[in-house]
Structure 1
């Protein structure tokens, strides 16, 4: 319901603030759907069956990644307008609602507590502190060097708040303040397991390694080839198809042959990500389209090998108790989300700051707002042919440097 409410607000938005609020609500609802699916899979399958079912969620995620820009771009280019890119979620929700009601049943839990009691048992303080830390950190690296100098009071304040929220979160989780040890939003006990900590880092790196090309390859093609949102989404097909295929492959083989060491998938996947990311940094012109497809396939296949695998591996390490199984789901979900958020936040900071410096030096007559418009692609049409080619060369060079984060993600995995 939260996802559909947020989508409705976005579709009916009359201001940017309303759109942001709607996106925040939809994001919270989408996270709840994802966690709910993982929790249901956990409760309805055995440890040996689980990797395959977890892998199937990667298939649906991959389909959404490709179809989202295509469908949304199609609505934006039609008389239906961009609003239907959000309203379509209400239609889909109405279609699948009978399945929610009649097909999905709550797992049998002995001594089930009332829903109101469960609501108040949520670690709301931990959630608020974690959200505050991530929000202020991302705002700091996004605004710093662009809207304000790095030594500006507002940027410093944001980083100070991020540090304060992070320290407070650690204290609250360690001491179980305003919650119980079993209800903490972060399973502190997992920090005592070196394997769980390594698993967290590997999962975060896999998430970072796949989200960077998914975000920046369409931008590259839109700038260099003038692609529409639809065509930019289509160009992600090689990456996403191989990601989904390898995700299903690793899930199936680990379910069928549980004695295969999971480390094989992680080492092979990280090596492919490292190779693909390294090769991707060598392409900075539109004539290398085929090479980009090949390199993105390496990244997609590599990350797919272990992106969803961590859910079942973490649960095997944690034990068979229902509480620890649920904690494992939350633990790995946090790794996936933090990997994507931090990687995209840092990469966006690099894009803005380096593009501002490069475009400011190459086209000194342009103002700050003009340069921001060029970075987004909207300001290119107003430039002369020579200036446009120069601006594109600067930004694509910056995008090439951003791919170093993929190299880092693969390197950490090894």
Structure 2
């Protein structure tokens, strides 16, 4: 005991503290680098307009660096709560690359490049699990990228129609300047985190962040985004109140719904939706689903292992996908069915296991946002490509990591910290 006390003198403790803070700063820088690269640094126009895709090379090199850490989990040196389904997902990615190369006759390098941004970020989960990055570090990253997204959105909105970023979507056909920037997943994760932190700390900054981020969500004019984010936020807020406040909140919601419902923008979206689904057999997404599940499949092998991703117009596979886009056939409109088309049955099994594990866990105060973001991904699973999009995969990874720490917090930290 005396020897231990001598070892833990003030000088030694100070050195340990300095080393600890230095390690956390390194982890923050590493995580910031991987997250920024995963969303193409918000895809500024000067990078997007280069003759070669420099983002593929940057993120490709970063992913190669963490392959050894993933290998340690595959040989069962390390394991964690979500490591099994993530390993299944990674295996499905490898097999899909093989399918695109062998059956779709696409060059191996092109198959790899096509895969890096949609789903390459799943590799980072096992890496940050190995590094045991703390929740406060992850939350700082979410905070930074959430605020950056809002700032860049506001600048883009003001400068419309001039483009400073290469946007995912950029039009005003829905009654508002519709601007969707790379990394939009962080906007939703930041929105849920802001609500969660407000109820934990009661700090005004979090309610301001909630209102600003929700305004940006409304401005996307995306029906499923708005509906699912609004529904989940309402459920979360109602859960925190007593029964009298819940009744008043429901009444207020009805009036608010009636007010929003009658706005020209919402009426335009409703009319558009009604026209699209008036006759199911003529609904383009339904036709697209039937095609990709039947005629698109080359063999029973692709039905099991997927088709992989096409790399632009660099191969016959890429040209085939471009022709299908001209007919408005998009795999990305098919949600989890699209995940199946690209990555096969294993990816669906992986996500079923992930959600079963999530539903088994009890939410922890201040960290409900990670659960609600995953519920958001599930609600959008019929029409949104979040599970295989560079915009959402990294936020999914960070959410699952937060949930995992809640499950195994004794492995990482005795007390879950908060920003």
Output the TM-score relative to the length of structure 2: 0.28
Which structure has the highest helix share of the two?
A: 1
The structure whose RCO (Cα within 8 Å, separation 6+) is larger is: 2
Output the TM-score relative to the length of structure 1: 0.28
